[in-house]
Amino acid sequence: MGYEVQYDVAAVIVTVAVAVHFFYKKTVNTRMTIVLSALIYLSLASAVLDMVTVYTIEHAKEVPHWINYLLNQAYLLLFNAITPIYYMYVVYLNKESGRMRMRDRLQVIVPYAADALLIATTPFTGYVFAMDPQNGYTYGGGMFVLYMVALLYVAASFVRTVLFRKNLNKGQRMITYCYTVACIISIVAQMLTDQLLIIQFSIAIAILLIYLSLENPEDFSNKLLGTYNETAFVEILSTMIRNKREFSVVGIRVHGLQYITKTLGATSWNHLLKQIAEFLQHAVGKKRVFYLSGSRFAVIAKGTMTGDAVIHKIQERFQRPFKADDAEISLAVPMCMISYPEHVDTVENILDAIEYFSDAAKGAGNAGVVYANEETLKNVGREFQVVQILKRAVVDKKFEVWYQPIYSVEKKRFTSAEALVRLTDEEFGVISPDEFIPLAEKNGMILEIGVYVFREVCRFMKTHQVWNYGIENIDVNLSVVQCMQERLYETLLDIMDEYCLDYHCINLEITETAAVVSSETLERNMRQLIRRGMHFFLDDYGTGFSNTATLIDYPFHTIKMDKTLVWSAMKNKKAMHALKYSMAMIKAMQMEIVAEGVETQEQAKILEAMGCDFFQGYLYSKPVSGAEFLNKVRAEAIYA
């Protein structure tokens, strides 16, 4: 009959190459990868059987009749399973479809079941194909039905891709479109030319494209460390939760790695991370270790390898130092453990809990371990809810700006104020800045909040002409993230220009942490803004490092003494000496001083005697709303 099998040979070569790479590389058994595995197996098996049946058909006289029928039936059953399996893949590719619904399952099963019935009965009916000594192998009318069913599956896949195109990225859409076109062309070509066996090659190329574009195992792995990544972690947990399998997750945060980069460089950091990854894989198994980000890992504990056993192994290893550049490095490893379904019920809950408990374990000590329980999980739930409130507040501009007046020792009145952001939720009530600001920093919202506060202060000053009441300027805090912005000065100047404000109307407060983290960028921004008349304040002096070098290296105009140092000085002689000499040093550097937390007249007298220029505290006013602040400074202006 002159069948051309070269395309089948090429199909086998391509499919084998995909199969070897797919099963050799690190991959994750998700629903989509399982379906892709089935496509690879079916494609390979049907391509091989296609070549085998060509041989048995061409040598029908030498091959028993029943074997010919059996082999051809097997080929058709495998080949016709490819398009329904591909349709199943498209269903799973749609991110909103979740599990296959009953309707989807019926769409996969029923047409194929009809195909299978036609193929199974063909030795008795001759409906799909027939074999006889005179005519050899001949198609029946049922072959056309098989082709139509295959086209139906392909068309359904195409329609589903179009309907749910918003859930797919451009690459996913293009691959499914190309697969559809390739299948249609090859099926039609096969129908028109029986001897040209091109359809298997088309399927093999389509599977190769799917593998390279949609299901590359490298998407699930970290190339540097050779471990699974967070994407794989999410996929595996989703599968385990969907199958109701019990497990525990051990979250690991290696403490001390951040200092390695500063002292030994990024190469040593990578080398240490790799050592840790290799140890974890050796200790608990390669398929259980996941690198999340930074210095964080996660281990899935199940079966005989319990969470406590994992923790014990890790603690035992970290009692010994690691090596980097001939140096021995001791690392701490705070950990946490969360169990399903005892503590959490979704992947999102697990990720939130790992992050929260890793921080908690870090605070518990170098070798701290935090175990999830009802009380701590409430904190995770609270944090998640506050983050959601923050996201809504950023979109809806629900933040308020309050003002705490600052008293001038020289002028005996309020001359400035500090702007403070506040957040109130209808359900939760007032949420403390100490709670929501760190969460905003961690979740990437602090930049938008900072810009909003700065704009609101400018609007407030311009609208109410506060300088008419003796308010010369208002202090606005800059976050660490803002200080890291290369064009920060342009953003701030543009907002002030929008409200036609003199640049000296705003003072900018930064912490020592911001100065250390973003030194070069901050210095460039400071030069640009100071040149235009703005002043910079160093906030929270007396906490953290309180490094004298910071005072020397940066052009600060004013230093704000933190309330903890002020309060300590009133109770402790050593703290009083520290406060006294710190203030003397600052004054000698010709910088002004604001004392925070002033609550009594006695404190005010002591601080004034030390040379303090401004007071801020409850003795003069607590933080108040914009309306209350205006009433307060208007009243003071009237009685002045």
Tens-digit pLDDT profile for residues 129-178: 888 766 677 888 888 888 888 888 888 888 888 887 777 667 667 777 77
The amino acid occupying position 344 is V
Instruction: Report d(CA 490, CA 525) in Å as an integer.
Output: 9
Q: Which is more confidently placed, 239 or 134? A: 239
Kindly list the distances between the CA atom of residue 521 and the CA atoms of 310, 486, 531, 549, in Å, as whole numbers in the listed order: 43, 6, 16, 17
**Predicted pLDDT of residue 97:** 45
pLDDT per position as a tens digit, 539-576? 988 876 556 778 888 899 999 999 999 999 999 899 89
Among the listed ranges 248-262, 512-526, 584-598, which one has the minimum average pLDDT value?
A: 248-262
**Predicted pLDDT of residue 279:** 93
**Predicted pLDDT of residue 620:** 94
Contact by Cβ (8 Å): 417, 507: no
The amino acid occupying position 399 is F
Judge whether residue 304 has pLDDT over 80.
no
**Strand 558-561 relative to strand 592-596: parallel, antiparallel, unpaired?**
parallel
> 298 pLDDT band (50/70/90 cuts)?
very high
Q: Report the C-alpha dihedral over residues 615, 618, 620, 622, rounded to 10 degrees.
A: 110
The amino acid occupying position 321 is P
Mean pLDDT on 302-309: 84
**Predicted pLDDT of residue 174:** 74
Unique residue bearing structure tokens 């710190």: 582
Among the listed ranges 42-51, 267-276, 456-465, which one has the minimum average pLDDT value?
A: 267-276
Give just the sign of the alpha carbon dihedral 49, 51, 57, 62: negative
Q: Which two tokens stand for residue 530?
A: 């100071």
**Predicted pLDDT of residue 519:** 74
pLDDT per position as a tens digit, 479-493? 888 888 889 999 999
Instruction: Report d(CA 369, CA 388) in Å as an integer.
Output: 28
Instruction: Report d(CA 542, CA 579) in Å as an integer.
Output: 8
**Predicted pLDDT of residue 549:** 76
Express as a percent the part of the chain with pLDDT over 90.
36
pLDDT per position as a tens digit, 181-221? 777 777 676 666 665 567 788 788 778 877 776 656 567 78
**Predicted pLDDT of residue 358:** 67
Q: Which is more confidently placed, 27 or 350? A: 350
Instruction: Report d(CA 84, CA 101) in Å as an integer.
Output: 15
Q: Which two tokens stand for residue 262?
A: 């500063």
**Would you call 598 helix, strand, or coil by DSSP?**
coil
> 96 pLDDT band (50/70/90 cuts)?
very low
Q: Which two tokens stand for residue 51?
A: 């070549």
**Predicted pLDDT of residue 262:** 58
- Nearest Cα residue to 608 out of 379, 422, 358, 410: 410
**Strand 247-253 relative to strand 221-222: parallel, antiparallel, unpaired?**
unpaired
pLDDT per position as a tens digit, 56-76? 888 877 888 889 889 999 999
Q: Chain-wide mean pLDDT for the chain? A: 84
Mean pLDDT on 418-440: 91
pLDDT per position as a tens digit, 395-405? 988 999 999 99
Give pTM, 2 decimals. Answer: 0.58
CA angle 431, 558, 602 (to 5 degrees): 75
Q: Report the C-alpha dihedral over residues 17, 18, 24, 30, rounded to 10 degrees.
A: -170
